[in-house]
Amino acid sequence: MADYELTDLTIAAARTGLRNRDFSSVELVQAHIDAGEAARDLNAYITPTPERAQTMAAAADAALASDEAGMLTGIPIAVKDLFCTQGVATTAASHILEGFIPPYESSVTANLWRQGGVMLGKANLDEFAMGSANVTSYYGTVTNPWQATSGPLKGKDLVPGGSSGGSASAVASRIAMGAVGTDTGGSIRQPASFCGVVGMKPTYGRCSRWGTIAFASSLDQAGPLTRSVEDAAIMLGAMAGHDPKDSTSVDIDVPDYQAGLRASVKGLKVGIPKEYRVDDMPPEIDALWQAGAEWLRQAGAEIVEISLPLTKYALPCYYIVAPAEASSNLARYDGIRYGLRVDGKDLVDTYEGTRAAGFGDEVQRRIMIGTYVLSSGYYDAYYLKAQKVRTRIAEDFRAVFTECDVLLTPTAPSSAFAIGEKMDDPIAMYLNDIFTVPASMAGLPALSLPAGLDAQGLPLGLQLIGQAFDEARLLSVAQSLETAAAFDKRPIRSGAA
C-alpha cells in the first residue's frame, strides 16, 4: 500500500502513477467507489455507476498495458447528471425525467471516455441546473464537505453552491478526481468557490452542447471541476473541440492547455473591474481580492484598474434571458414521449398535471418568468431590451480587453451558507451569481480557484475572466495565482484524512 491515499491525488499525479504502474486504474477507481460509499450522506451522486466504472477501469488498465493511453485513461470522473449518458439514467435532478435512459451519449462525455476517462456516476445538481445552492434537486440537497470552524454556521450543514453542487462536493470530498459540470450563470464557478476547488467555464462554443440537457442554450457551457489548475487544463483539453452536431460550437483548434500552463505572467496586464466592489461585500473577500492582485503583481503582472460600467445590469438581464430560453427549452417535457406522465381527463389536464408534478418550484418559477418576458406586449420591454444590454455588456468586455489581458474578481459575494438559508428569497439566492453572470452573458471563459479561507474557515474563490478562446492564457494566469495562493486546506469531510 502506498504511503498516500489514492483519492488525494490530482489527475496529473494519478496519470503519472498509472503510467508508472504504481497502481492500477481498477485500484484507483475502487478507492473512489469506496470513498463515495462512505460519503453517501453528502448526496453528491444521484446515480453512482460503480459497475460501469470498474468495467471502464479494466479497459483503461488494458490500454495502459498496451501503451494506448489517452489524456484521461484510468481517471475516475463524476458527471453532472445533466449530460446524457447512454444506458444510464439521466435525470437533470428532475422528477419529470423519471425513468429516462438516453440511447445516446453527450458529445462532451463521449470525448472524455474516448480519452480513457472512467465514469464514477451521475452527480447531483439543482433541478435543470437552476439554482445556486443545490437545494432544488428532486433527489435531495447536496451537502458541502466543508464545515465552519467558528461562528454561527459552526456545526451546520452547508450548501455546496449550485447548480453543479454534486460535482463540486464530490471533487472537494475526494470521492471523484475531477468532475464535468455545466455553467450557465456561474454553475461551475460558484460551487467551486464554495467547495474550495477549481472550476472553469470555457468560452461559449468551446465545448459541444450536444447531448447536454439544455437550460439556457445561449449561455450553457460545459467545463471541468478539479482540485488543481493543471487538472482543469487536462480535463478541458479532453472535453473541448468542434462538434458539427452543435451549430454554436466553434471550429477552432484546441491548444495543449497543460503545456501552456508554465507561461509566465510577466508583463501581462491584469484588470481589476471597480464595479465588482459591491457595497455589502464581506471585507475578507475584498482583502483576498487585493491579495490576489498583489500575488500576480509579484509574479510580474501589471495591475490596472478598469471599468465595466454595465456590470450591475448583467444579473437582471440574465434573469430575463436565461428563463426565457428555459421556458422554451423545457416545453419538450410534456409527458408525451418520455419521462413522467400524469394522465389527466384530457390533453391540457395531462400537460398541466405532468408539469405540475414533474417540475419543482424553482423550475416552475423560471418557466413562468420566461413565459412572461416573451409574451406579446412584454417582449420588447424585457427580452429584447435584455438582449440589447447583453450586447453592450459584451462590447464593454471587448473594450477593456484592449487595456488588459485578464480580469481578476471575487467569484462569489460570500462563502457557503447553511442549507435552508435564502430558500424563501429568490432574489437573495440569485445574487450569488452577481460576479459570475457578466462573463456568461459575454460568452467569455472564466475560472474560479480557491485562494483562502474566511474567518469561519470556509473557502473563498477568486475568479479570472479571459478573452474569448483565450483559455490557455487564462489557465496560465490561474496557475501562477494558484502557486502564490498555495491553498492547501481540505474540507473536514474528505476521506481518511
Which residues of this chain interact with another protein, rule CB under 8 A?
83-84, 90, 92, 97, 100, 102-104, 106, 209-214, 216-218, 244-248, 324-325, 327-328, 330-332, 334, 336-338, 347, 351, 371, 374-376, 379, 383
Nearest-approach distance from CB 318 to another protein, in angstroms: 14
Of 66 and 337, the one with the shorter C-beta distance to another protein is 337
Q: What is the DSSP string of 66-133?
A: TT---TTTT-EEEEETTB-BTTB---TT-GGGTT---SS--HHHHHHHHTT-EEEEEEP-SGGG--SS
Nearest-approach distance from CB 327 to another protein, in angstroms: 8
Nearest-approach distance from CB 377 to another protein, in angstroms: 9
Q: What is the DSSP string of 440-473?
A: HHHT--EEEEEEEE-TTS-EEEEEEE--TT-HHH
Of 230 and 246, the one with the shorter C-beta distance to another protein is 246
Catalytic residue among 25, 80, 106, 440: 80
Nearest partner of 325 among 428, 216, 409, judged by Cα: 216
Catalytic residue among 25, 106, 163, 193: 163
Judge whether 80 counts as a catalytic residue. yes
Q: Is the peptide bond before 173 cis (omega within 30 degrees of 0)?
A: no
Nearest-approach distance from CB 463 to another protein, in angstroms: 24
Nearest-approach distance from CB 155 to another protein, in angstroms: 40
Alpha helices in 346-467 (DSSP H): 347-358, 361-374, 385-400, 426-430, 437-442
Catalytic residue among 94, 132, 187, 476: 187
Of 276 and 383, the one with the shorter C-beta distance to another protein is 383
**Phi, psi at residue 123, to the nearest 5°?**
-80, 145
* Alpha-carbon gap, residue 115 to 56, rounded angstroms: 12
- Cα angle 175, 179, 180 (rounded to 5 degrees) comes to 160
Report in angstroms the alpha-carbon separations of 438 from 134, 182, 393, 423, 444.
21, 16, 7, 24, 9
Of 325 and 454, the one with the shorter C-beta distance to another protein is 325
- Residue entry with cell 439556457: 216
What 3-state class would DSSP assign to 232?
helix
Judge whether 218 counts as a catalytic residue. no
Of 92 and 416, the one with the shorter C-beta distance to another protein is 92
Report in angstroms the alpha-carbon separations of 361 from 27, 94, 367, 398, 411.
42, 11, 10, 37, 26
* Alpha-carbon gap, residue 163 to 169, rounded angstroms: 11
* Alpha-carbon gap, residue 196 to 462, rounded angstroms: 10
Nearest-approach distance from CB 314 to another protein, in angstroms: 17
The sign of the torsion formed by the CA atoms of 356, 357, 358, 360 equals positive
- Please tell me the number of Cα atoms within 13 Å of 71 on its side-chain side: 21
- Our measurement of the distance from residue 315's CA atom to the centroid of its chain's CA atoms, rounded to an integer in Å, reads 18
Of 202 and 335, the one with the shorter C-beta distance to another protein is 335
What 3-state class would DSSP assign to 291?
helix
Of 379 and 400, the one with the shorter C-beta distance to another protein is 379
Nearest-approach distance from CB 187 to another protein, in angstroms: 16
Nearest-approach distance from CB 325 to another protein, in angstroms: 5
Judge whether 440 counts as a catalytic residue. no
Of 218 and 364, the one with the shorter C-beta distance to another protein is 218
* Alpha-carbon gap, residue 18 to 72, rounded angstroms: 10
The catalytic site residues sit at 80, 163, 187
